[in-house]
Amino acid sequence: MSTTVATTVPTRSTARRRRVRLPGGVALALLLVFVFLSVAGPWIWGHAAGDTNVADANQAASGEHCLGADDLGRDLLARTLYATRSSLVLAVLATVVGGVVGVALGLLSGASHRLGKVLGAVINLLMAFPALLLSIFFAVLFGIGSVGSVLAVGASFAPGFARITQTLTASAVSRDYVEAARVLGKGPVTVVLRHVLPNIAEPVILYTTIHIGTAILALSGLSFLGLGVQPPAYDWGRLLSDGLTRVYITPTAAIGPAVAIVLAGLTFNMAGEHLADLVGGRRRAPRTAVAAATARPSTGTDVRPAPPVDDAALTTTDAAVEPLLEVQHLRVLYPGPDGGVVTPVRDVSFSVAPGETVGIVGESGSGKSMATSAVAQLVEAPGAVHAEVLRFDDVDLTRRTAEDERVLGRSMAMIFQDPGEALNPAVKVGTHLVEPAVVHLHQDKALARRRALDALRAVAVNDPERRFDQHQHELSGGTKQRVCIAIGLMGEPRLLIADEPTTALDVTVQRQILRLVAEVRAETGASVLFISHDIAVVSEISDRILVMYAGFVVEEATTDELLARPAHPYTGLLLAASPDMGADRSRPLPMLDGRMPGPGVDLPGCYFAERCPRAEQDCRDARPPLLQIGAPGHRAACWHPLTGTPSTATATGASGPADERTAP
């Protein structure tokens, strides 16, 4: 067994487009400064801002007056600082007015079917006008002065608030919990107050914060135009307006308030965005954690050496045949939520012989999809793949070259659970089939088209000529899945990876697709790796089945052997828990409460022990290795299997696992 640990670090560049942005701390610090100024400003500078001194009238910047003085000799710096309170208070008031009116309109139009259309049209109409135009219009309507300008700016904000609230509400009312409340007989007001409003509050509050900055600019604009605050009261907009008349003589008189406006606007915008980042970006985890774990595997979550695996487990049941795909001690790592590392795939070893169909069964969270993604080289940054051996045909997947990738592209085909996601909605069906052949294999276009039509015929798509020119939305789910299989057939597939390909399909269509996969395998001689949560589906198509649990392969056997003599208690439960058409209806189903340990959990023993009816203390202390039990090729990772005993297995070949055990 090789001792070197090969690592596949995803090559895709991790650099992302990023906006240039100051750290959030700067915005918050500035925010605090503005809050302080608006609270304390008038006390500290109230005197200086009001003191007239005719001698200093219209003075330029000097040691005494940093920004100069106005026509009555009042200090402009003091007046700018003093005006912080009125500017900010008016801005907050305007935003609150806009928010309250807008949210109320939005809730009404989002929650009510009848009012929705009319109000939606009104909101759309108002959104069509520039906000400044609206606020000037409303300012004239509501009258000139502080109150008028606050109402005007609020009114011009309302459509924006209404729109975002309407969108959020419309999506919130279609949630099942809102419908559940309606079924319970709750009235519309109760539903809105209890379920809708709390669930849309977060984005609305963020939107509000960002808009305070905009309100400062809008109110200053109105004051500048003379529509806002009237003398003797003043805000930054008035100061700017006054200063601008002598901008060529004493420019500081205009620059001071201008800087204050811009800075305040920026601060609230940045603070809002920072807040949005904090709320929306919690899940963003540092990438360095996985890099570190990749460099030093011994410091990752999984500190123990990989459990020993019966060497025979690494070959197929027929040892004479060189396997097409060989995987030994595969691990997949991702950065965890709190800077740690999670391992969705902890230890997976298996092989697939040419022409063989291997099924992987597991529940959600078992790591079955992630393990096959690693085989298909689809694990992207920040994930990382470890394996002692990861070999496809004669390509070492842990250190593949560009040439290898071309080979892989032709000889590995993959179909997914949702074929609609796999097909580009903007591209015709035919293009999906033809393009790889033309671009990568440099085939003649006409030839590629002929082959594509043949492939569509091979997967029994009816009327292939017409389908060739259609888009994916014109196809049914079953036909889409057929097209995906046809795309795979365009190369020379030697391995077809099918990841829950029938889960989203109806039962009659599922049967058709299963049969198609079986036919494709029979005709092309390709191997199939078939992943599903449904052991019945897997057992119908597979020669051999792997059962996965919490990132481990816990059992492996030929299909007939596994169904007849399941050894791992988990396999036994999977087989018994799901009623079949012959289930005894008079008895309750065998069941299993609790949940699978997540990818961030690190246990010394068996990961199934907590839910296992047969678990004893030794199961919690030491992890059982995958050992042969009973028939050749039947392996299970269990200290207390349902059939056979691991001790007979240690005798049949595995070297050493017995000394791993701490309890008899």
Partner 1 sequence: MIPALSVQDLTVRYGPVTAVRSASFDLRAGSVLGLVGESGSGKSTTARAVVGLAPFSGTIRVGDADASSPRSRAAREARRRVQMVFQDSRSSLDPRFTVGQCVAEGLPAGERRDAGRRIRELLDLVSLDEGLMRSRPGQLSGGQRQRVAIARALAARPDVLVADEVTASLDVSVQAVVLNLLRRLQADLGLSMLFISHNLAVVRYMCDDVAVMFNGRIVEQGGVDDILGRAQHPYTRSLLAAVPEVGQHRLLSDTAIEASAASSPAPGPGCDYRLRCPVGPAVDPGREVCSTTDPGPGAEARVHLAVCHFARERRDEPAAAGTGGALA
Residues that bind partner 1 (CB under 8 A): 175-177, 179-186, 194-195, 198-199, 363-364, 460, 462, 476-479, 506-512, 514-515, 518-519, 522, 533-537, 539-541, 559-560, 563, 573-575, 577-583, 585, 588-595, 611
**322: three-class secondary structure by DSSP:** coil
Minimum CB separation of residue 637 from partner 1 in Å reads: 18
Residues in the chain, overall count: 664
Q: Which residues contact 588 (CB under 8 A, 6 or more apart)?
A: none
Contact call for residues 453 and 465 (beta carbons, < 8 A): yes
Minimum CB separation of residue 483 from partner 1 in Å reads: 12
Q: Which of 590/604 has CB closer to partner 1?
A: 590
Minimum CB separation of residue 407 from partner 1 in Å reads: 30
Minimum CB separation of residue 355 from partner 1 in Å reads: 14
Q: Which of 454/534 has CB closer to partner 1?
A: 534
Minimum CB separation of residue 220 from partner 1 in Å reads: 38
Q: Which of 258/612 has CB closer to partner 1?
A: 612
419/509 Cα distance (integer angstroms):
13
Residue 656 φ/ψ region, left for φ over 0, alpha for ψ in the -120 to 50 degree band, beta for the rest = left
Query: What DSSP designation does 590 have?
Result: P
Q: Which of 406/595 has CB closer to partner 1?
A: 595
Q: Which of 391/511 has CB closer to partner 1?
A: 511
Minimum CB separation of residue 649 from partner 1 in Å reads: 25
Q: Which of 373/479 has CB closer to partner 1?
A: 479
511/519 Cα distance (integer angstroms):
12
Minimum CB separation of residue 160 from partner 1 in Å reads: 25
Q: Which alpha helices (H) appear in 334-444, and where do they start and end?
A: 368-375, 402-411, 419-422, 429-439
92/216 Cα distance (integer angstroms):
8
- The DSSP line for 275-315 is HHHHHH-TT---SHHHHHHHH-GGGSS--SPPPP--GGGGS
Whether a cis peptide bond, with omega within 30° of 0, leads into 382 is: yes
Q: Which pair of tokens denotes residue 429?
A: 């069906």
Q: Which of 320/507 has CB closer to partner 1?
A: 507
635/628 Cα distance (integer angstroms):
4
Q: Which of 112/199 has CB closer to partner 1?
A: 199
Q: Which of 32/522 has CB closer to partner 1?
A: 522
Q: Which pair of tokens denotes residue 637?
A: 């990772």
Contact call for residues 419 and 475 (beta carbons, < 8 A): no
Q: Which of 226/280 has CB closer to partner 1?
A: 280
Q: Which of 163/544 has CB closer to partner 1?
A: 544
119/242 Cα distance (integer angstroms):
41
Name the pairing type of β-strands 495-499 and 412-415: parallel
Minimum CB separation of residue 290 from partner 1 in Å reads: 25
Torsion of CA 210, 216, 219, 224, to 10 degrees: -140
Minimum CB separation of residue 627 from partner 1 in Å reads: 24
Q: Which residues contact 201 (CB under 8 A, 6 or more apart)?
A: none
Identify the burial level of 249 via C-beta atoms within 10 angstroms of its C-beta, where 0-12 means exposed, 13-18 middle and 19 or more buried: exposed
6/129 Cα distance (integer angstroms):
61
Minimum CB separation of residue 529 from partner 1 in Å reads: 17
Minimum CB separation of residue 457 from partner 1 in Å reads: 14
44/47 Cα distance (integer angstroms):
7
Minimum CB separation of residue 588 from partner 1 in Å reads: 5
Q: Which of 443/578 has CB closer to partner 1?
A: 578
- The DSSP line for 194-216 is IIIHHHHHHHHHHHHHHHHHHHH
Torsion of CA 238, 244, 249, 251, to 10 degrees: 80
Minimum CB separation of residue 188 from partner 1 in Å reads: 13
Q: Which of 315/578 has CB closer to partner 1?
A: 578
Residue that has been written with the tokens 């809730």 in this structure:
107
Q: Which pair of tokens denotes residue 119?
A: 């109000």
Q: Which residues pair with 528 in a beta bridge?
A: 357, 496
